[in-house]
Copies of this chain bind each other. A is one copy, B any other.
Amino acid sequence: MCELLGMSANVPTDICFSFSGLVQRGGRTGPHVDGWGITFYEGKGCRTFKDPVACAQSRIAKLVQEYPIKSCAVVSHIRQANRGSVALENTHPFTRELWGRYWTFAHNGQLTDYESLVCGHFEPVGQTDSEKAFCWLLNQLSARFPVFPSVPDELFQFLASLCNQLMAKGVFNMLLSDGEFLITYCTTNLHTITRRAPFGQAKLIDDDVTVDFQQETTPDDVVTVIATQPLTNNESWIKMAKGEMKVFRLGELIVSLETEINQGA
């Protein structure tokens, strides 16, 4: 499987601390050695650093850990390959444009019966179930909404119904962002934490690193971090439910959908 890491913040914030914890799981404290990637949004633009090698040994990952790129929306992934070879074209996150916005997607899980998903003009480049699912989602969204909907809640509700269909094909934990919204969907494992004043200390589980957010922030900062498993051991992370979608904007939770599948359980 893989691990996901996302961030939504109301001021440009670096993710060096959380990423340092994730990196350890990419070859040292975890088995996710088949590549890694991280996408930073800055305004409408985004940039991705990725490498098809183990994160813990990657010189580019070292740069990302040490060089504080400040962003209000981040999507990251470390990979343990199941579908698709270890190659750059199969390395998450994947980014495609829709409605004049760059959408970035990372997936944890494994799907069956995904080959027949219809992707229209969003054609996969690599061989993963993940990229295929992403292309299918975008194709469905573009067919339903010719432009970005004026009521974004309609987008989130439709997207949740699509994610439910993917969950029916296996495990589908997802992060999706356009730089404004950070959309999360959980099948098995996703945890969130929202940090705001008064800020405290946080200690990484996977590395001997402690940060005092009081020193790094202003009182108005709101920063949410989403990860497959909690990254710190002295804070309260919230586990998402099966079939739950949470949408964050500027660090705040703005939409929480417990989908029909979940409500019926």
Contact = CB atoms under 8 A, between A and B. Distances in A.
Contact of A47 (B44, B88, B99): B88
Contacts of A51: 47
A48 B48 contact: yes
Contacts of A265: none
Interface residues of A, number: 34
Number of copies of chain A assembled together:
2
A45 B121 contact: no
Given A49-B49, A96-B97, A97-B96, A125 B63 contact: no
Nearest to A47: B50
Contacts of A60: 63, 67
B43 A87 contact: yes
A175 to B, nearest CB: 19
A87 B45 contact: yes
Interface of A: 42-52, 59-60, 63, 67, 87-91, 96-102, 121-126, 142
